[in-house]
Amino acid sequence: MKNPERVVFHEITEKAVKEAIRHPREIDQDLRKAQEARRVLDRLVGYDLSGLIWKKVRYGLSAGRVQSPALRIIMEREREIRAFIPVTYFVITANTETNKKESIELRCSIEPSTKEESDKILKDGKNGKWLVVDIGEESGSRKPRAPFTTSTLQQSASSRFGFAPSRTMKIAQKLYEDGHISYMRTDSTNLGTEAIENIKNVISKKFGLDLIEIRQYKSKIKNAQEAHEAIRPTHPEFDSRGKNDDEAKLYKLIWQRTIASQMKDAIVLKTKILANIEEKTIPNFQANGGRTTFKGWLLADPAAQGEEIELPKVTVGNKLNLLDLKSEEKQTEPPHRYTEAGLIKELEKRGIGRPSTFASILQTIQTRGYVNKENKALIPTDTGDIVSTFLENNFADIISDSFTAQMEEDLDEIANGKKDYTKTLKDFYGPFHKSVKAKDKIDKITNLGEAPADMKCPICGGPMIIKLGRTGKFLSCAKFPDCIGARTIGGVEMTGQKETGEMCPKCEKGKLVEREGRFGKFISCGNYPKCKYIKKDEALELAQHGTGVACPKCKKGQMVEKRGRFGVFYGCSNYPDCKHIIKAKPTGKICGYGRENGPCSALMMEGTKTIGERCSDKTCPNHNPHKLAEENAKNK
């Protein structure tokens, strides 16, 4: 196609689409190169690091340019939690009331670290006469927040509704496709002139002309794509849209945030009461309150107001009746684990990733088994811990904040035409690939350290070591594979493998054991992976799954029904000596289609609803008899 042009619109409305078609633009080759560079870079890093992790940690794991820094951030917080040493402190509260029987709950302004200090405050407080010693009032404003970007929408939906970022993006995609909101992948907080005019009309009709305050917000994110608009309703006159409850909730959230962003500040009156005993031998006790005196933008987003505590009106010197004075012993808490919303905020703050990638990053580290979500908290698994530690020890520069953020800047400069796409990739990949190759020499991580001395092998009584399995860490006999004793990290004996009492007929060294696999129980050599013998009960297999059709390849086995990761298939009973398989059940007939060297001679197999009996050989034209019939009809 010569001189292709691009039609660009950020909302699926009749006006926006027609306007975009009237004003197409040339394809921005710099943007195309930046997108291509990002994709290539992600693959170069992912393929090389994942391949190394397969070799050195465990098959099937992965690493990535952005997912690995995200995992590192979670692990850094987890190590802080593990290293945290709690400190004891005491919270002292006084329940009082005024002469008008209005209750005031006060809290001691200091938190004693010893019981002796706490007891002294309790003793003096209970024996003293209480009164108000100071009052403070301060009027402040609450500004509305900027319209949603991708990340702030994900954060708010997670906090308010418990939506995972991937779920939020799926719902937003539907709202966008149905023409209800503007494009949902953006890091801009801008609103277009036309959108602001429409929002002004809505505010004027719903809340009053005097509540309008037009604002333009500047994104705090470095390299934000300010040319785009924030996420907003395409028709703000409608405060409800969506085909189901989830869509309606998310649309309402977007509508409220957008409308509120162009309204006046809310005014809040904050009050503070200080009280003490007449002798003042104890620290001051304090009560804080607040009430909204002018709602402003909170009229559009009432859920953002929160709970208010209004204190009774008192003056300095007013006496207070002490109803109860109590002390509660507490301990300082470790830092909170990241929630999905919190991690997105942290990634954005550090310049790691793009709005469009946050949801997939979080989904990837969870589906890979690196992180579990429990009560909204992201908790690293043993596998996540080991993979992150391996990468931190060997590729600290690649998964650092500075490298990841710098690479985002480089990609933005490619998009702006300031950097060359090919040179940027070459400058990175040469040293990186050399570094990965150098790590080929390090040993595979099979031993994570010695188990506690009191943890003995349940079979031979010998010492045990910590290993990483598919479901996390476990204890294995140090003599494995000669001894297959195993325990959970908690010390419970693992009985997944039971000896049958038979010797392996293949290697004649290992003992046969019963194992639990993906498709049920099976018996194999205990000397695995040195010996990969698997015992088969051929008589039972033939009786239960046999087809009675002889294998055309080895002429010894029979085609039997098997089940694999992609469903049912049919293979030779003489496996692994014969690995002949076909896709569907054999009919017992042989394909007679004439080929260059004679008849095809492959097994015929059952067809589908639309295709009849056909050849099992994909290279044979008779594999698609319906197409063959069409060709024959044409030739006639």
User: Active-site residue numbers?
Assistant: 183
Q: What is the rounded CA–CA span in Å between residue 43 and residue 341?
A: 27
Instruction: Give every CB contact of residue 201 below 8 A, 6+ residues apart in sequence.
Output: 237
Tokens of 248: 């309606």
Instruction: Give every CB contact of residue 199 below 8 A, 6+ residues apart in sequence.
Output: 191, 236, 258, 259, 262
Q: What is the rounded CA–CA span in Å between residue 19 and residue 80?
A: 54
Tokens of 62: 């992965």
Helix (H, G, I), strand (E, B) or coil at 240: coil
Instruction: Give every CB contact of residue 403 below 8 A, 6+ residues apart in sequence.
Output: 397
Tokens of 49: 């690091």
* 296 CB-contact burial (10 Å; exposed 0-12 / middle 13-18 / buried 19+): buried
How many other CB atoms sit within 10 Å of the CB of residue 572? Answer: 23
Strand partners, 132: 275
The single residue listed with the structure tokens 């040195």 is 530
Q: What is the rounded CA–CA span in Å between residue 233 and residue 247?
A: 13
Buried b (16+ CB within 10 A) or exposed e, 50-82: bebbeebbbeebbbbbbbbbbbbbbbebbeeee
Q: What is the rounded CA–CA span in Å between residue 173 and residue 540?
A: 52
Pairing of strands 567-572, 534-535: unpaired
